[in-house]
Amino acid sequence: MARRRREKKKPATIQEFFKTTLSVVLLVILIRSTLVQAYHIPSGSMEDTLLEGDYVLGDKLTFGTQIPDRLPILNFKLPSFRMPGIWDPEPGDLVIFEFPEDPSKDFIKRCVAVGGQTVEVRNQQVFVDGELFDEPPGVKYLERSSLPRRFRRGSFGPKKVPEGHIFVMGDNRDNSYDSRIWGPVSLEKIKAHPLVIYYSWDSEIPLWQIWNKIRWWRLGPVW
């Protein structure tokens, strides 16, 4: 009798295990799709605000997002709709968005201007509607540039941003492919607002110095 009881309990236990696992997976997908998502910074285009090897959490409620997002493992684009946000990005805000030229990639840049405003760069200074843009502390210009030749002396525009779009630039202005090259970003492409750096990894430090590879001093809110 005892053996039979144990045999009857096994299927129920396995069934409960799969139910719990499925519930956890669905909860993770729901949170990732509507609340927060982790993003990795793969390049130096946002230095010194964000460094290569930073990992940030993005808030999806503030600016709204696409639901559902790509499948995490297969990186497959699903049919989606736009979940409205609390408000639209404003000049100075950091935004995470779907790269207009490749939907499989997410970019993070700084919003410099919104629809209806005019952007111009003169002598490495950004002007919005003719007024000098209030640059955040992390913005920098370098002598060596990876940009096309016509942008290397810090000149652009003037260019009016179409309604329903934002104009974005990387904080590492001489080494950022952004709206100066591939144009404004539709509000429909925006996915998240970066909130906090939860992990930061310095690839240049040897692996055996594991404690020093983690940039502890960078953990915290993103400005």
What is the tens place of the pLDDT at every residue in 27-53?
A: 555 555 567 888 999 998 999 899 999
How far is Cα 117 from Cα 162, in angstroms, rounded to an integer?
Answer: 8
DSSP 104-130: T-EEEEEEEEETT-EEEEETTEEEETT
Q: Is 200 a catalytic residue?
A: no
Coil, strand or helix at 35: coil
Say yes or no to pLDDT of 151 above 70. Answer: no
Tell which residue, 170, 202, 194, has the closest CA to residue 57: 194
Alpha-carbon distances, residue 174 vs 63, 94, 109, 181, 187 (angstroms): 27, 18, 14, 12, 25
At the fourth CATH level, the homologous superfamily of domain 33-221 is: Umud Fragment, subunit A (2.10.109.10)
Give 156's pLDDT tier (boundaries 50, 70, 90).
Answer: confident
**pLDDT, greater one: 206 or 130:** 130
Say yes or no to pLDDT of 59 above 50. Answer: yes
pLDDT the model gives residue 99: 93
Q: Is 109 a catalytic residue?
A: yes
Catalytic residue among 109, 176, 179, 200: 109
How far is Cα 69 from Cα 111, in angstroms, rounded to an integer?
Answer: 22
pLDDT the model gives residue 1: 47
Catalytic residue among 9, 19, 43, 45: 45
pLDDT the model gives residue 77: 60
Task: For the chain, give the percent of residues with pLDDT over 90.
Answer: 44
Delimit the domains of the chain by residue range. Answer: 33-221
Rounded to the nearest integer, the mean pLDDT of the chain is: 82
pLDDT the model gives residue 148: 65
Tell which residue, 115, 113, 44, 34, has the closest CA to residue 80: 34
